[in-house]
Amino acid sequence: MKPTIDWQIASIRDIRPETATVKSFTLTLPAWTRHRPGQHYDLRLTAEDGYQAQRSYSIASEPERQGEVDITVERINDGEVSTYLHDVAVPGDRIEVRGPIGGYFVWEATMNNPLLLIAGGSGIVPLMSMIRHRSAVGGKNPTSLLYSSRAFEDIIYYKELELLRSANNGLQVFHTLTRSQPADWKGYARRIDEDMLKEVARPLGKSVEVYICGPTLLVESAANALVKIGIKPDQIRAERFGPTGG
Ligand SMILES: Cc1cc2nc3c(=O)[nH]c(=O)nc-3n(C[C@H](O)[C@H](O)[C@H](O)COP(=O)(O)OP(=O)(O)OC[C@H]3O[C@@H](n4cnc5c(N)ncnc54)[C@H](O)[C@@H]3O)c2cc1C
């Protein structure tokens, strides 16, 4: 039987906007434990009448930062928990969390294979923890991120990704914008497909490890296309952020 992870009361230390619909929250944790990049926390809200709502949020920060974690939350219209976090929560608020949780969708720099990270929208969050961790420990394994967003303004962590890419430590970043593109856009401008995956994955070689995170449809179509271009299913790990999480 898995050990139960206790709930604890985190404090919101900082809230900052990432895009028009996405904010990051720094949570200070009294019982902080080192996470593995890719893991998440469960967050629980309790109303005065006792009604509770619980959702999972991936850890965005690197495990090298002690005592606190960042989460990054997209505001879902009509959503219970994401709208509370966006519209009501303020720094200093206390919030119930438990974690870190998850043992399958994780990557650590000791796993030294070439890495292909594929994200759609807020699916970038657990992959960002991996990228930040790799940078914090001076990882040099060839790593490519293929990140699908609707429009340029929707790209989360754009500036930080540019900085990390320009450090020339083997990280490549490919963006695709599916709905609209700036006039001088040089990246991809369509949904992730087989040809795009060939271009991005092939230079990483046969021993590549793949992590895909995002809406269910993106995750499934990317995983299927990867298998068609010769990547084995056991090299692919996927996490779906959907209404059910399943
Ligand atoms: C392991 C895991 C990690 C996650 N990590 C993150 C993260 O890092 N950042 C993040 O923003 N979210 C993340 N999610 C999604 C998150 O748990 C919630 O599902 C999301 O915030 C919506 O919750 P809500 O209470 O606001 O909406 P709800 O009240 O649950 O739903 C409101 C309406 O929106 C629809 N809906 C719910 N979720 C989504 C969605 N993701 N996209 C589109 N429509 C939706 C529902 O079907 C419903 O109609 C993660 C999910 C899982 C399973």
**Tell me, what's the pLDDT at 242?**
73
Compute the mean pLDDT over every residue in the chain, rounded to the nearest whole number. 95
Residue 56: what pLDDT? 97
On whether residue 209 sits in a domain, the answer given is yes
Residue 1's pLDDT is 57
Which CATH number does the domain housing residue 52 bear?
2.40.30.10
Residues 128, 220, single domain; the answer is yes
Closest residue by Cα to atom 45, ligand 1, is 243
As given in the structure block, the two tokens for residue 123 are 């699916």
Residues 72 and 165 in one domain: no
What is the value of pTM for the model shown?
A: 0.96
Query: Given this model, what pLDDT does residue 3 score?
Result: 62
Same domain, 151 and 235: yes
Residue 241 Cα to ligand 1 midpoint, Å, equals 6
pLDDT digits (tens, 9 = 90+) for 178-199: 999 999 999 999 999 999 999 9
Is 243 a residue whose pLDDT tops 80?
A: no
204/82 Cα distance (integer angstroms): 36
Atom of ligand 1 nearest to the CA of 126: 8
What is the CA(242)–ligand 1 centre distance, in A?
6
Index of the ligand 1 atom closest to the CA of residue 60: 8
> Does 57 reside within a domain?
yes
Residues 129 and 87 in one domain: no
With a cut of 80, say whether residue 246 has pLDDT above it: no
67-98 per-position pLDDT tens digit: 999 999 999 999 999 999 999 999 999 999 99
Domain count, the chain: 2
Burial (0-12, 13-18, 19+ Cβ within 10 Å), 48: exposed
The verdict on the CB of residue 176 being under 6 Å from ligand 1 is no
Distance between CA 192 and CA 196 in Å, rounded?
Answer: 6
pLDDT in tens, 35-64: 999 999 999 999 999 999 999 999 999 999
Last residue of a domain, one of 101, 127, 142: 101
Is the domain of 127 the same as that of 204? yes
| Ligand 1, atom 46, residue with closest C-alpha | 243
Residue 163 lies in a domain: yes
Distances (CA, A) of 188 to 149, 152, 163, 200, 225: 10, 11, 20, 11, 17
Q: Is the CB of 62 under 6 A from ligand 1?
A: no
| Residue 217, domain CATH | 3.40.50.80
